[in-house]
């Protein structure tokens, strides 16, 4: 799984004018899942299901 930072660098993700992370292919805002047992938030594209980890 890629990190959001790598996704942004690889142009898989971009930030919209509101600073929200969006999937470059689907132009959908990523959903955020917070697991208190993990060191990162899970970011999921609701369209294609690609997941990224967002280090806190
Ligand atoms: Zn997508």
Q: How far is the CA of 31 from the centre of ligand 1 (A)?
A: 11
Other beta carbons within 10 Å of 54 = 17
> What is the C-alpha to C-alpha distance for residues 34 and 43, in angstroms, rounded to an integer?
9
Q: CA torsion 55→9→15→47, rounded to 10°?
A: -80
Domain range for 20 is: 2-55
Per-residue pLDDT at 56: 75
Per-residue pLDDT at 34: 94
Q: How far is the CA of 2 from the centre of ligand 1 (A)?
A: 14
Question: In the structure encoding, which two tokens stand for residue 22, read together?
Answer: 């969006």
What's the total number of domains in the chain? Answer: 1
Q: How far is the CA of 5 from the centre of ligand 1 (A)?
A: 16
Per-residue pLDDT at 24: 98
Q: How far is the CA of 37 from the centre of ligand 1 (A)?
A: 26
Instruction: Give yes or no for residue 18 having a pLDDT over 90.
Output: yes
Instruction: Give yes or no for residue 19 having a pLDDT over 90.
Output: yes
pLDDT per position as a tens digit, 28-53: 999 999 988 888 999 999 999 999 99
Per-residue pLDDT at 55: 87
Q: How far is the CA of 22 from the centre of ligand 1 (A)?
A: 8
């Amino acid at each position: 799984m890629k990190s959001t930072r790598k996704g942004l660098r690889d142009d898989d993700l971009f930030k919209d004018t509101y600073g929200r992370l969006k999937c470059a292919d689907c132009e959908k805002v990523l959903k955020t899942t917070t697991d208190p047992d993990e060191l990162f938030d899970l970011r999921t594209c609701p369209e294609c299901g690609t997941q990224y980890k967002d280090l806190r």
